[in-house]
Structures are given as structure tokens and as C-alpha cells.
Amino acid sequence: MSASLPPTIYPTLFLAFLLAWLLPAATVIAQTNPGQQPPAQSAAEPSAKPIVRTELSQTNIVPGQSVTLRITILVPTWLTKPVDLPAFDRPNLSVKLPERSTVSTSATINGSTWSGVVRDYQLVPLTPGTFVLPPTTLEVHYRNPDGANDIVHKAPLTAETLTVIPPKGAEKLQPYIAARELQLEQQVEGDPEQLRPGDSFSRTVIAKIQGSTVMFVPQLLDTGAPAGIAAYADTPKASDNGAGEREDGGVREEKITYVAESSTRGELPAIELQWYDLDDGSIQTSTVEAVKVRVKGAPLASRFSPTQLLLTAALLGVLGWVAWRCLPLLVARLHKRREARRRAGGADVLRQLKRAAKDRDYPTALAISIELETRPDYRGSDISKALLALGRAQYGDTAASVSADPLWQQLEQAVDAFATQNRVHRGRNALPPLNPRDAR
């Protein structure tokens, strides 16, 4: 005979059965209900591709005005290798990297944090025209969001166009210079108004430009001087501001040493540069004053008495006779050695000129070529013609799309031809052997 259950236990059993039946169903509903929060996923899917953006701070500017090109690269995780960014080397376009040109960055995209780098370029067009920064492809290495191997993605970099238009009122500037500030300073060492034959002094002119590149500053000094004054130019020095400077710009320095040879009076001309002010659009003028020169000294003959003049003339006559009779061989040898030293020095100058041509350094090439002007065979060479054509390309109205590389190649060829011609002449002027047996 079975025992009967108390009547109060039946509600408890019914509730237990109901919970046992509803709990699995509630679990399934919780897993499939779209209103519930999905399980946490990666901040970015593996299919997310890097983002590459380019941006110009301005697209319409005047020659000499600087503009910033910014390239931003973002990835869903982090970069595992530095991105090889382009150099944007274009004719008639100065490209510099300012201080802290490349920095890390981050951004929130679709609720996720992306990281990457930003690179800023400082562009200064030297001539009017349209500059197209060509499209290219960047190879981006970044961590896989799924934790697998790193991902390598080739991201396109779109082209940017910069339009450069000459400002109104500056069309007649020759040469064209645009800046926010241009200062000329002059330093004179020595007393140019109290000279005697044999004395010397130097003149240094310094140009400081701000808001543009020093490449706009032309040659400031030449070797012209009053009769009786010899001029010797140093190699010009030109440099843009370094990374630690607050503003773009540069300094150009030129120095010439003058040596008094005879009594004279005159002046070294003043220097005047007109330039376009980028701040207010006006034409400004920077100048340095002329330098007055005076060489004192009486004629040489008035410094001696008649007896001294007679003795001097007799001594000169004896020395002349000895030189005519006994020194022709010595003079020939000295001349030969002097010619060898001169040619050796000329070869060194040609090497320096060719190096400047390979470096595309027009101011240095122009300064070095001055040392060749004393050579009688320089006038008929093609070096001066090539330098003149490069000068027109650098400071003239040559279109920005025209490359100066062919002109630099012409200069290199002209230097090679000049060096070859000098070697041929040196071989023709060689003396025959003194001993006939040496000719065999």
C-alpha cells in the first residue's frame, strides 16, 4: 500500500516542473534575441584597409609663397614598419621638411581607435605655373586585428595640384623675389678711403630672407672696381634655415677682397633689390650704400733723388744684360713650372665645377667659373653659354613644367670638353726630348 502525498506539496512540484521546462527555452531566446548585446569583437575587422589622405593648406599661391602638404596614414591597429614616404622632387619647386615633420597620430573611426603617422612638407614654388605632385603607391605594414601575421597593403596616394600665379604689380621685377622680409647688410673691413699701393680691404654683403627660400636671392657682388684696384671674390655662402628655426628663410653671404695697386679714386656701387612683400602685396626695396675708395700715393719716380735714379738705372741695366745673356734657360724652366701649376690648378677648378653641376648647385657653379675667366681659351668654350642658360632657367620666366636637367647635362659636357681640349693642347706643347736616344 503506497503512502499518499500531502496536498500542500503539489504546488511546489508544479513550479519545479515549470522552471525545468522554461529555463532552456529562456537560454535559447536570450542567445537569439536581436535586442540583446552581442559578444565583444575586435575593434576593427581584418577587412578594414589603411586610410591615406593628402591635403594642401593652399592651392592658389604666388611664386615664393610657402604652402604645406600634409599626408596622413591611419591603420586599424598600429604600424609595424615605417612607411617609405615620397620626396616630391620637382623642377623649380623647393621642398623641405620642417621641424617635427613626421609625428604619430590617432583618430576615432566608426567608434574604433585607429593609429598612424602624419608627414608635413613645406613647398615653395620658384616660378609661376602648375605643379602636379604625381600619384604614387605607399606600402603600409600594420598589425593584423585578428592577431595573425602582419598585413602588407599597397595604398594609393592621390595626386595634388598647386597653381602658382604671378602677383599683380610684380610682373616687372627682375629678378623676381617674393618674401615676408628681405634685409641687406654690409660689412667693410679696413679703411677704403685711406689706402696706399699694396693695402687691401674687404666688402661683405649679407642678404637675410624670411618667408621664402634663399634660392630667390641673386648674386649681390661682382668683381668690378675702379682702375687701380684689383678684386678677388670668395666663394658665396648660401643656406636655408635649419630645422630649429622658427620660420622658413635663409641667408646669402658674399665677400670680395680689394687690393690697391696704384693711386686712384672712385667708389663701389650701391646694391638695390626690389622684392614683393607677401604680407601686404606691395613692392619693397632693400639697399646698401656705395663704398667710396681712395688710394693715395705719389708716382714712384718722385720718391728718389737723381743720384738714386741713376744708380737704379745702372743696376737695372746690368741685371737686364745678365738676364739676357745667362738666364734664358732658367726663365724657360720657370715658365714651364708656372704653366704646369696653372694647368694643375685649372684641372682642380674644373673638377669643382663638375661636382657643382652634378649637385645642381647653380650659385657655387657660377662662383667657381669666375676663376676660369682668366684663361684665354675659356671665352671660346661652351661653359659660359651653359651657365647663362641655367641662369635664365633659375631666375627667368621659364615655365615650371620645364626641367633644368638638360641644361645641367650641357654644363657637364661643356666642362668635359674644356678639360679634354686643355689636355690636347698640353700634349702638343710638350718639348721634344733633348737626347735623341730618348725618342727611340
Residue-by-residue DSSP string for 33-97: -TTSPPPP--SS-TTPPPEEEEEES-SEE-TT--EEEEEEEEESS-BSS---------TTEEEE-
User: Which residues on adjacent β-strands are paired with residue 287?
Assistant: 272
378 phi and psi angles, rounded to 5 deg = -75, -35
Q: Residue 399: its pLDDT value, please?
A: 60
Contacts of 317 (CB under 8 A, 6+ apart): none
3-state SS, residue 292: strand
Residues 184 and 161: their CA atoms lie apart, in Å, by 35
Q: Return d(Cα 279, Cα 200) in angstroms, integer.
A: 42
Range list of H helices, 270-371: 306-326, 328-358, 362-369
- Closest C-alpha to 408, from 134, 88, 91: 91
DSSP-assigned letter for residue 171: T
Among 245, 234, 241, 236, CA closest to 218 = 236
The closest alpha carbon to 226, from 293, 276, 180, 175, belongs to 293
The enclosing H or E element of 298 equals none
What pLDDT score does 31 carry? Answer: 36
Taking the chain (440 residues) in runs of 10, the rounded mean pLDDT of each run is 49 50 40 36 54 89 87 92 87 84 90 92 87 89 85 89 85 83 94 92 94 85 91 90 60 94 92 90 92 79 68 85 75 68 64 82 79 70 79 68 77 81 58 47
Element at 24 (helix H, strand E) = helix 10-32
- pLDDT of amino acid 24: 45
**Spatial separation of the C-alpha atoms in residues 44 and 112, rounded to whole Å:** 7
Distance CA 367, CA 234 (A): 8
Cβ(291)–Cβ(268) below 8 Å = yes
Helix, coil or strand: residue 241: coil
122/58 Cα distance (integer angstroms): 12
Q: Residue 159 CB: number of other CB atoms within 10 A?
A: 11
Angle at 201 between CA 197 and CA 202, to 5 degrees: 145
Other C-beta atoms lying within 10 Å of the C-beta of residue 415: 26
Helix or strand or coil: residue 371?
Answer: helix
**HSE-CB for 143 with a 13 A CA cutoff:** 14
Listed in sequence order, the residues at least 6 apart from 406 whose beta carbon sits closer than 8 Å to its beta carbon are none
Q: Whole-model pTM above 0.75?
A: no
Q: How many CA atoms lie within 13 A of 294 on its CB side?
A: 5
Give every CB contact of residue 424 below 8 A, 6+ residues apart in sequence. none
- Residue 267's DSSP bridge partners are 292
168, 133, 182: which is closest to 63 by C-alpha?
A: 168
The pLDDT of residue 38 = 36
φ, ψ dihedrals at 398, nearest 5°: -65, 135
Round to whole Å and give the CA distance between 137 and 158: 9
Q: How many CB atoms lie within 10 A of CB 236?
A: 18
Under a CB-based contact definition with an 8 Å cutoff, are residues 106 and 129 in contact?
A: no
Evaluate whether 250 touches 238 at the Cβ level (below 8 Å): yes
The residue written with cell numbers 617674393 in the block is: 178
pLDDT at position 7 = 53
For the record, the C-alpha cell of 61 comes out as 599661391
* pLDDT recorded at residue 293: 95
